[in-house]
Amino acid sequence: MPQGPVQQNDFLNCVVTGTYSDDPFSLLKQVHELESVFGRDRSREVPKGPRTLDIDIILFGSLILITNTLTIPHESVQERQFVLIPLLELLPDCADPFTGKLYRTVSAQLGDQGVQKAGSLYGS
């Protein structure tokens, strides 16, 4: 179930992990280019509203970064089960770089936000 001030359809969410040899600003540039390929036009959309594709950088190793264009860890990670649930499937011992608090503890303290695994939506 989408969170935020704008009514919108449900969406699929996923988390991926990997290695990246450049800096997070370079990754952000590539992410925005990929979103654009899929029709996203950030200049025309309503903030937190419907969009064709939304890719966020949630973590970048143990880096802590706060700038006008990029905040790592993502500023809303601790409020969103739709991020925490798939993140914890890949990285069950992942912790907040600021506090060291395990994200599984954070997730357990959040209420049910209507997150369903994609397989449960399609009968598998």
CATH number assigned to the domain comprising residue 40: 3.30.70.560
Inside any domain, residue 4: no
pTM of the model: 0.81
Looking at the structure of the chain, the number of domains it has is 1
Largest CA distance in the chain: 42
Which residue among 23, 56, 104, 112 is the active-site one?
56
Q: Would the pLDDT of 44 be above 90?
A: no
104 is catalytic: no
Residue 3 lies in a domain: no
* Structural domain includes residue 71: yes
* Residue 112 among the catalytic residues: no
94 falls within a domain: yes
- Note whether residue 19 is domain-resident: no
Report the pLDDT averaged over residues 90-113.
94
Element spanning 82, H or E: helix 81-90
Average pLDDT of the chain, as a whole number? 86
8-16: Cβ within 8 A, 24+ apart:
8/49, 8/50, 9/50, 12/118, 13/82, 13/83, 13/86, 14/86, 15/58, 15/83, 15/86, 15/87, 15/89, 15/90, 16/90
Indicate whether 51 belongs to any domain.
Answer: yes
From 54, 80, 93, 104, active-site residue = 54
Domain around 94: 24-121
pLDDT tens digit string along 1-25?
555 666 666 666 778 999 999 999 9
Tokens of 103: 């994200």
